[in-house]
C-alpha cells in the first residue's frame, strides 16, 4: 500500500493536511494512457465540517490528486511512498492475540521508578529525565495502539463498526477481485492501519475509542502537550526549536506517570470491568 501526503485550502479558509491512499497503476496496460488507477476518499474539514471528495489517479508516469467536489481547488501533494512499518505481519498477529497490554504498560512504569532511584550526578540527571519522559509517552501510545488493535480485530462487530465510522475505511473502493483478496487479510489490514494511525495522528484516538469502543477519555490535553515535549526529547535531546532547554523534573515526570496511569486505568475499567487489577505507583 502506497500513501501520499496532500494539503489544500477549504472554502472556510482552513488549511487541510491529510495522508491519502495511492492505488497501484494498472501494470497490465501497454501504454501510459491506459495505466491509470483511481481511488476516491472523503476528507472532513474540522473547522466548518464540510466533506471534500478527493480523487487520486496513479499511472506509469506518476500520481495526481484532485478535489472533485470543487474543481477549482488547488491541491499540493508529494511523491507516493510506502509507509514505514514497525511491525511485520507476525508481530501484528501477536498484538491481535495478546491480552497483556496493561501488564506491559505497568512494567514500563515500574522500570521508570527503578531507574529514577539510580545515583546520578545533577548534570547527567537531566539527560536521564529526557529519556524517561520519552519512554513514558511511548508506553502510553503503545498501550493505546495495542489495546485498540486487540479489541477491534478480535471482534467482527467492532471491526464492522470501525469500518463504518472511520472515513478512510468507509470510503475505500475495491474491485470485486480486491474485495475477496481483502476479506482474507482484513484483520492484518485493519491492524496495520490502526498501528500507523494511532502512532502518527493521536488527535484521532479519542474519537475512535468513543465511536468504536464506547470509551470516553475526558480531557487529554495533557497528552497532546506531552507528545510535543516528547518530540523535543527524542529529536533535540531536551531542547526546543529555539535551542532552549525544556523544563523537566522528577515532579513533572511523576505527574505525567500519574495521568498516564489514570488514563489506562479508566480504559481498563471500561473494557475489562471485572479483571482490572490494582497497581500502586509511588516515586
- Both 73 and 93 in a single domain? no
Residue 168 phi/psi, 5-degree rounding, is: -65, -40
In this prediction, residue 261 carries a pLDDT of 92
Per the DSSP assignment, residues forming a β-bridge with 63 are 58
- Both 134 and 179 in a single domain? yes
- Both 138 and 265 in a single domain? yes
pLDDT in tens, 45-72: 888 888 888 899 988 778 889 898 776 7
The structural domain count of the chain equals 2
Residue 276 domain flag: no
Sheet hosting strand 62-67, strand order edge to edge: 37-44, 51-59, 62-67
- Both 93 and 73 in a single domain? no
pLDDT in tens, 243-277: 888 888 889 999 999 999 999 999 998 887 765 44
**What would the mean pLDDT of 84-104 be, rounded to a whole number?**
57
- Both 158 and 216 in a single domain? yes
CA dihedral angle for residue 84, residue 87, residue 93, residue 95, rounded to 10 degrees = -110
**What would the mean pLDDT of 118-132 be, rounded to a whole number?**
83
Residue 278 domain flag: no
- Both 166 and 27 in a single domain? no
pLDDT band at 198 (very low <50, low <70, confident <90, very high): low
- Both 265 and 142 in a single domain? yes
Say what the pTM is.
0.60
Residues spanned by the domain of 210? 89-271
- Both 182 and 222 in a single domain? yes
Residue 242 domain flag: yes
Amino acid at each position: 500500500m502506497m500513501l501520499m501526503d496532500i494539503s489544500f485550502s477549504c472554502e472556510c479558509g482552513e488549511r487541510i493536511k491529510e495522508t491519502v491512499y495511492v492505488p497501484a497503476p494498472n501494470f497490465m496496460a501497454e501504454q501510459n494512457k491506459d495505466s491509470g488507477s483511481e481511488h476516491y476518499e472523503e476528507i472532513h474539514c474540522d473547522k466548518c465540517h464540510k466533506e471534500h471528495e478527493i480523487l487520486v489517479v496513479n499511472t506509469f508516469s506518476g500520481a495526481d490528486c484532485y478535489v472533485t467536489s470543487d474543481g477549482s481547488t488547488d491541491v499540493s501533494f508529494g511523491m507516493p511512498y510506502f509507509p514505514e512499518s514497525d511491525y511485520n505481519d507476525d508481530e501484528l498477529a501477536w498484538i491481535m492475540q495478546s491480552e497483556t497490554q496493561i501488564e506491559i504498560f505497568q512494567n514500563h512504569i515500574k522500570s521508570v521508578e527503578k531507574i529514577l532511584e539510580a545515583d546520578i550526578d545533577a548534570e547527567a540527571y537531566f539527560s536521564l529525565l529526557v529519556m524517561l519522559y520519552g519512554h513514558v509517552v511511548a508506553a502510553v501510545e503503545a498501550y493505546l495502539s495495542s489495546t485498540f488493535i486487540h479489541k477491534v480485530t478480535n471482534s467482527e462487530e467492532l471491526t464492522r463498526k470501525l469500518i463504518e465510522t472511520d472515513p478512510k475505511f468507509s470510503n475505500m473502493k475495491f474491485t470485486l477481485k480486491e474485495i475477496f483478496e481483502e476479506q482474507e487479510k482484513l484483520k492484518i489490514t485493519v491492524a496495520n492501519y490502526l498501528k500507523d494511525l494511532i502512532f502518527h495522528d493521536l488527535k484521532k484516538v479519542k474519537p475512535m475509542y468513543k465511536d468504536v469502543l464506547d470509551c470516553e477519555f475526558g480531557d487529554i490535553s495533557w497528552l497532546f502537550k506531552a507528545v510535543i515535549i516528547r518530540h523535543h526529547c527524542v529529536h533535540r535531546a531536551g531542547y526546543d526549536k529555539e535551542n532552549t532547554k525544556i523544563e523537566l523534573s522528577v515532579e513533572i515526570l511523576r505527574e505525567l506517570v500519574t495521568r498516564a496511569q489514570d488514563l489506562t486505568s479508566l480504559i481498563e475499567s471500561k473494557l475489562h470491568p471485572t479483571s482490572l487489577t490494582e497497581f500502586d505507583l509511588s516515586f
